[in-house]
Structure formats: structure tokens, C-alpha cells
Structure 1
Amino acid sequence: MASNLYPHRGFMLDTGRKFFPVKAILHLLTLLHQYNFNVFHWHIYDAESFPLLWPGGEGLTNASVKYSQTHTFYTPTDIQNIVSYAENLGIMVYPETDMPGHSDIWGIWKKNLVVGKASLTKPDAQLDIRQNNKAVYDNITSLVATVDGYFGSPYHHFGGDEVAYMWNTKDDNKLFNTFLNWLKTLTPKKSVILWDDPLTDSEKSITLAKDWIIQTWHKGTTSKILKKGHRVIVSESDTFYIGNADADKISKFVFPKDSKVLGFEIAWFTSQDDSPSDLDQDWILDPLKAASKIRRKHEPERFRTNRGAPETSQLPEIIIDENLINRIANAVVGKLVQASDYDFVTGCQPRTNKPAGTLISCLMSPLRLF
């Protein structure tokens, strides 16, 4: 279906610096649905706290409850309720496990897991990814597997931002590059995402596979990343960060005319002064309203019909609205069932025992979108 909407219309919430109760996140999802967003990027932990139950290392959860400003955490049931609610609204939820930076809470848990001085008030530590530190790699492997089990989304964000070369190896750049390549092997069936830092920091010389999606947050970096061949999610901070974002900036932002621009995310990196009640304030709602009006201005030349069909590799990843499909399919089935008392597909119960919506779910189960 042709559309001038970007396929990725997202909002990022940081619950590591400020805990948001499940009820507040459900309210946020309702707002996102109202304003035509279809992606929720959950930056679930950060340097200051780890509000996530991690069975492979509950000590980190316990350290967060004991020492951070957040004295609670999200359970697997909490996450599943949020993901299910979002799916019913046509919104995909995907997690971010930010690493190797923003890891002070790890150092509060176990000092040998980080380099730098771990502090929850003045964060300065990052994971010790030197290859002889097996405990770090084992914990990361366990965490990523656990988080992916909780979310089950097609995306996984690994952060990778604000990393300092402080491991004191012969080649910290090579170490970091190798680490990023290793992270990708942990989620071989998922689309993986990084912030733009590894490709834009002047001190770094990182080479990544082109199938990494890059989320841009530094001003003016989107075009630079596109030239490197990556798909892009735009969150340039001067326009799309809550606190900087306003309706005027968002409406005037010029997106590059490139099919590799998947879309955008409004990003809210919270602080302790923020409150879940802020979700109903104009400084949150106005950027949402403005972003709901973002459209692709022009079609790239290679997508015009008189120039032939684009190659598959040029096509952006598309997120389909399952609710819309169900509404259309329900209408079709409503007509079909008038002429038949039989099951449509082997294994589906008779229409008299299941409503049309459930029948459609049965018919379309192989096409599950999220």
C-alpha cells in the first residue's frame, strides 16, 4: 500500500534515570497511538539504575533496588503486559541494552565488570570489554538472551554511545570494533541498532556491516551516515529530544530524500525531576502532535515507476498496521460467512464458535508481524 508515512514513527523513553510505573507507560502508548506512532523504543536501564528483573544475574537488579533512586523494577509480566497492550494498538516495542558505556550500576554490583570509577551521581564507568574478562561477556550474553525473551521484537538496540577509550590496550579502537561485531552475533535473526557515535566520533575509526541501523542524535549527522550505506532512524537532538523539541523545529526539519531513512524517534532522556504526569503537559504533547504530521516530501528517483522497480536491498523495512489488516479482513469475512457454514482453514473452529476477529487471527497466524 503506497503511503507517504515513514514506516518507523517512534518514541524513546528512558526509564533508567526516572522510573515510570506500568500504568504510565500504558498511558504513553495510548498517546502514541492517538498521534499515529507505531514504535516504542524502551531505553529500560542506564548508568543510574537497572530496573529490570534479570534471572541470570539478580544481583544487578538487587543492587539497583538497594543503591539507586529506583527501588523497584519491571517484572517479565510487566513487560509482557506492556508489549501486548502495544501490539493491540499496532505499536512495536523494542528494547535497548546500552553498552559498553552507561554501566556504572554494573560496577556498583561488581567492581571487576567495569573500568573507571562507578558512580550513580557522576557516572564515569563502562564495561570492561577486554577479552580476558570472561565474566563480562558471559553476563552480556545472558542479559541479551533474557531481554530478547521478554520482548520478542524484531529489533534490538545496543546503544554504543558516549564510549571513551579507557581500556588501556594496545588498540582500544580495534577492541571496541571487535566488541560491536560480537554483539551482532548475539541476535542473528534481528535488526540491530546503534546510536551514531561509533561512526561519528572523531577519535574512532569503526567499520560496521551495512545492515546495522544507525540512530542519529548528533546534529547534522544523518546525511553522513546515509553516505556510509546504513539505514537511519532520525533523532537529531536539537530537534527530536524532549526538552529541545517543539512543534516549530519538528515541522521545519528537512529529512534527506533517501529510501534508507526509515523514519524518526522523539527521544525523552529523563531526569529525577521528571514525572509520569508530564506526559499530559504541552512540552510533551506538542512534539507528538507535530511529529504526527511528518510525511515523506518527495519520492527518491529510483522509486519512480518509469525508472523500473528498485532492488530489494533498496527497500526500507516496513512495519504493517495489523489492526488495519484485521479491520479490512473482518469486513471481507463478514460477507463470505453469509454463504458458508464451513471452516475456512483446517484447524480453525466453526465461525459460530469464534468471532470474525479471532478467525482472522487464525487465518493470518503465519504472518504475525511483531
Structure 2
Amino acid sequence: MTSTPAAHDPNKMAVLRRTQAVFSVLLVLFVSPLPCHNVPAYQKPVMVQQTGKVLPKPQMLTVSAEAYTLAMSGFKFTYGSSSQMCDIVDQAFRRYYDLIFVVDGVKKAPVVSKDMSELTELQIMVKEPCTGVYPSLESSENYTLTVAAPMGTLVADSAWGVLRGLETFSQLVYRTDDGMIIINKTTVDDFPRFAHRGILLDTSRHFIPIKYIKQNLDAMAYNKFNVFHWHIVDDPSFPYQSVAFPDLSAKGAFNPYTHLYTQEDVKDVIEYSRLRGIRVVPEFDTPGHTASWGAGLPGFLTPCYDGSAPNGKYYAANPMLNTTYDYMTKLLQEIKDVFPDKYVHLGGDEVSFNCWKSNPDITKFMEKMGFGTDYSKLEEYYIKNILDITTSVGRDYIVWQEVLDNGVQAKSTVGEVWFEHPTIQAVLERLTAKGYRVLLAAGWYLNHDVYNPGTDWSTFYKLDPRVFNGTQAQKDLVIGGEACMWGEYVDGTNLIARLWPRASAVAERLWSNKDVTSMADATVRMDEQRCRMVRRGLNAEPLHPGFCQFEYD
């Protein structure tokens, strides 16, 4: 399946990578007698200047040549007299103060010019109460920022808009070669194009320690992503420690003592995300992708047969047993209690019918239900039950696109597009024509091998989720998208470098105006954003030969 994202299927990914590897070797052997010289033409190294360029690009940005200095001892964030106050904004004040004034882990007082006006304060106005709130799909992230000495203003409906505005403010600030911290006179009126701007992270194929999950959440905040799609379990391992079913991780994790997300870990991630305006949407994918569930949940998987006898193998949730739905009811109730977001991702992709077909009890059940030999009806039966259970516990749901293609009736369902048959645009047109809201993931699988290092991000950048044949009403049903990092070849050692700054290209496509398409302009801002993330302590990979003012240590 080389033309579609294969990361959902490890076997397909392995075949794809072996094929690519063989092709690469043959290419080197027959085209280049000196493989060490088989590199792009010389590129002059770039010293990336920090000049206060913003990514994602705001909807409206006006920057004047008039510039002001900021002094570590003289600058402060404050609330306006009628502003709402809360911990989200309080903690953001501290974070962004450090991001502006801390270099290499040390607070460095900038040089202050007596010949320039000084910006001494950024006053914040939050209109809506923000104590104890969680972000949602409907949250406002709009903000207006005005920078003019001696005091700038940042006005937003919600704390989430304040967070986005503070990120923009911090990016407008830059440090000169002689040590001055500068910001230009600026006005910004900004809001996101799409409400759902996510990063999918697979923590089943490789366990990702909490430390690196938090680093990724920081990077997401720096790029105005607002959804952490936590693909927390899958076939290879079940690292989530369930209260209702503790054996799932005890028998399904790679190591039940070290490769485990405890309830406290999950709460920690949710709170860390909340303080950065990021929703946590967990995915518990069934009926397929459940191999790791079997040992800890006896009877949940379907016994496979060779002829008239079981062959000792198990595959997929058993859709005919009431106990299957009892298990899922208890688990989904727990998920609702643990994860505050309104949505849970239920998966539903890549279900092979071979095991179900081999099982004589399933065959009898099919006859009883009047499904004949159409196993897609059995899958639809299972999915409908799971959707009903999810609704009954008070949650909405997201599913992979196969569920929509197989005819689920609920128009409130959000479908995530992950493969391209025959094209991404054709899939978007087909699903929105049926009235479904959709997210785009196809085309943004960042775990795929980087064949053109430093330039493949341009492909991500050029993919617009709303460019397809359809009415405006159809295009409005595309509510966002996600950059995906599947875990076959990614763990804590390379997660950040593989994702960033490539995911920044997706961030801009999901936030900025549809007319923001200049690759030349984006390249300059991508360079600066990469160096900005490096200065902030993230090992974001380089885009081409060159160097940053502050290197990763």
C-alpha cells in the first residue's frame, strides 16, 4: 500500500521500508560510483537571524520600523483592572517571562539602549471567567495584541486566546547580536482558521516517557496546536493503567513497572496540556488493533479457527458476546471519568474479517442476525453498539474514516481521513457530501522516512484541507486536521527531532489564512521558528546547512 499511509499496519510499514531500502541501495550502486558524494549541490550555510517573525502567521499583522527595548528588571505582565484572573494566565506569565529573558537556562539581563523607548508592561484583558476551565472544540482563541511603548495590551475573550497572544508576543521579541532585547511597534488581530489543530502521538509501538510527551506539548504550544490526540494503546502494548481492568497493563504493557502510564501520569499530562490550552483526546481503538488487550481481558478477543478447530490465535474484539460490550461500557465510563474532553477517539480502522470468518460461532451469529456473509454488517453492528455506549456515558466520538464509509448513521460523528483512495480530495468530497464533519490526517504522516531532508515540509505546507470539489457547506464540515507520529521507529530518542520543525508547516496551514501560501516567506519563518525552539531547549532538526545564534545543548 505504497500510495497510502501505512503506519496503521506495522507489517505494511515493514514491507514499505524494506522496498524503499532495496531501491535506495540499487540507486546508489547503479547511479553513483561514489556514494559519499551523492548529496545535493552545495548550499551556502545560513546563519538564521532572529528578527521577530511569527509562525503560524497571524490573520492580520502590522509591524512598524519603530522599535523598543525590554529590560529584565523593568518589564512585567499585568492584568487590566476589569480582567478575569486565573491560574492558567498566572502560570503563562511566568513561562513567557522566562522564554523571553532566559538563555541557556540562565536569566541574562539584556543590554538596554538609552536611545530607544522601553516597553515596560504588557497588560492582559481576559473577558470570560477562566478558573478551572478546560479547552474544548468550541473554545475561542481570538486575541488582539497592540505593542506600543511604554505599555502594550493583549485582549482576548478567553484564557486560551491569551495563551495564543502571549506566544505571538514572545515570537515578536528578539535578541540582537549585541545583547539587546527588541520588539517592534506592532498590531495583531488574530484567530485560528480551524478549531481542531492536533498532533497524534502513538505511545504503544514504542513507549514515550512523560518527559518527552511534555516536551512535545511545549512544542505544540509554541506552534499553536490545541489537540493532543493520544493514541495511547494499540496491538504492540497497552501502557495505560486502567482502574477497572488493571490486568490490561499488567499483562499488556512492554514492562508493567517501567513502561506504564499511571493514573497520576495521565492526570499530570492532562493538567500540563490544559495550562497550555491543549485538549487531550485519548484513542482506544477497537475492534481491531487490540492484540495487547487479550492477555488482560480473557474472552474479549475472537478465537480464530483452522477448519473445525481453534488454532490458538486470537484477533479483534468478539462482536457477538454481551461481555464484550460490558467490558467496553466499564472502560468507556472510566475514560469519561479520567479524561475531561468531550470527545474520545474510538478508532475503528483496518479490521480484517479473516478470523471472524473462520469462527463457527460467529458464522451462526451472522445467520441469526440476517447478515448473510457480509462481514461489514457485523463490523457495523459492533461499531453501532460502541457508539451507543459512548453516547450513554456522556461522550462524543471521533472515528477513522472506514466507519463512515461503512455507513454509520449518526451525523454527529467526526471522521478522521487517513488514507487516499483514490485521492485525499476525493475522500474529503465523498464524506462531507454525506454530511459528516471530518478531520484530515492523510498527507501529514510525519513518521514516514524523510526522503528529502529539509524540504519535505513543503509538501505538508501545500496541503490545504479545504481544497477539494464541493460546496462551501461541505468545506465548512472540515473542522481541522492532525499531524501524525506513529511509533514504529520513534521513541524518546528521536521524537522531537522527527516531528519538529516539520509539524510547524502543518501548524501554519491549520491556523493561518488560506491565502498564506508563499514558500519563500514560510522558509524564512520556519528557519527562525526552528532556531527559536532550539533556544527554548527542544532538539528540533535543522532544515538545511547553517546555524542558530543559540545552539542545542
Give TM-score scaled by structure 1 length: 0.71
Aligned partner letter, 2:485: W
1:1-370 maps to which residues of 2 (within 5 A)?
A: 1=142, 3-65=191-253, 71-110=258-297, 112-115=299-302, 125-130=315-320, 133-165=321-353, 166-167=355-356, 168=363, 169-170=366-367, 171=371, 172-188=375-391, 189-200=394-405, 205-219=406-420, 220=424, 221-236=427-442, 238-243=443-448, 246-256=456-466, 258-271=475-488, 273-281=489-497, 283-294=498-509, 295-297=512-514
Aligned partner letter, 2:287: P
User: Deviation of residue 177 (structure 1)?
Assistant: 1.6
Distance in structure 1 (CA, Å) of the matches to 2:223 and 2:191? 17
The RMSD of aligned alpha carbons is 2.4
User: Deviation of residue 248 (structure 1)?
Assistant: 1.2
User: Deviation of residue 4 (structure 1)?
Assistant: 4.9
Distance in structure 1 (CA, Å) of the matches to 2:483 and 2:444? 9
- For the residue of structure 2 that corresponds to 1:163, the secondary structure is coil
Distance in structure 1 (CA, Å) of the matches to 2:229 and 2:257? 20
- Structure 1, residues 50-78: CA drift from partner, whole Å, max 9, x if none? 1111121112221124x669953111111
Distance in structure 2 (CA, Å) of the matches to 1:244 and 1:224? 29
User: Deviation of residue 254 (structure 1)?
Assistant: 2.9
- For the residue of structure 2 that corresponds to 1:293, the secondary structure is helix
- Whether the aligned pair in 2 keeps the contact of 1:215 and 1:235 (CA below 8 Å) is yes
- Whether the aligned pair in 1 keeps the contact of 2:384 and 2:408 (CA below 8 Å) is no
- Structure 1, residues 285-316: CA drift from partner, whole Å, max 9, x if none? 13212112113527xxxxxxxxxxxxxxxxxx
Aligned partner letter, 1:177: E
Distance in structure 2 (CA, Å) of the matches to 1:125 and 1:287? 36
Distance in structure 1 (CA, Å) of the matches to 2:346 and 2:332? 9
Distance in structure 2 (CA, Å) of the matches to 1:14 and 1:69? 18
Structure 1's consecutive aligned runs of 4 or more residues displaced over 4 angstroms after TM superposition are: 67-71
Aligned partner letter, 1:146: E
| Higher normalized helix content (fraction of residues) | 1
- Whether the aligned pair in 2 keeps the contact of 1:19 and 1:70 (CA below 8 Å) is no
User: Deviation of residue 124 (structure 1)?
Assistant: 7.0
- Whether the aligned pair in 2 keeps the contact of 1:94 and 1:153 (CA below 8 Å) is yes
Aligned partner letter, 1:228: K
- Structure 1, residues 222-261: CA drift from partner, whole Å, max 9, x if none? 222111111111001x433421683111111132251111
- Whether the aligned pair in 1 keeps the contact of 2:325 and 2:385 (CA below 8 Å) is no
Given the superposition, is the C-alpha separation of residues 86 and 239 from structure 1 closer, same or farther in structure 2, using an over 3 Å criterion?
closer
Aligned partner letter, 1:127: A
Distance in structure 2 (CA, Å) of the matches to 1:6 and 1:26? 24
User: Deviation of residue 22 (structure 1)?
Assistant: 1.1
- Whether the aligned pair in 1 keeps the contact of 2:301 and 2:314 (CA below 8 Å) is no
Structure 1 spans left out of the alignment, 5+ residues: 299-370
Distance in structure 2 (CA, Å) of the matches to 1:207 and 1:263? 21
- For the residue of structure 1 that corresponds to 2:328, the secondary structure is helix
Q: Which residue of 2 aligns with 1:334?
A: none
Q: Identity percentage over the alignment?
A: 26
Distance in structure 2 (CA, Å) of the matches to 1:140 and 1:207? 19
Given the superposition, is the C-alpha separation of residues 45 and 265 from structure 1 closer, same or farther in structure 2, using an over 3 Å criterion?
same
Give TM-score scaled by structure 2 length: 0.48
Given the superposition, is the C-alpha separation of residues 263 and 277 from structure 1 closer, same or farther in structure 2, using an over 3 Å criterion?
same
Segment drifting more, 69-78 vs 176-185:
69-78
Given the superposition, is the C-alpha separation of residues 241 and 128 from structure 1 closer, same or farther in structure 2, using an over 3 Å criterion?
farther
- Whether the aligned pair in 2 keeps the contact of 1:49 and 1:69 (CA below 8 Å) is no
Distance in structure 1 (CA, Å) of the matches to 2:408 and 2:205? 31
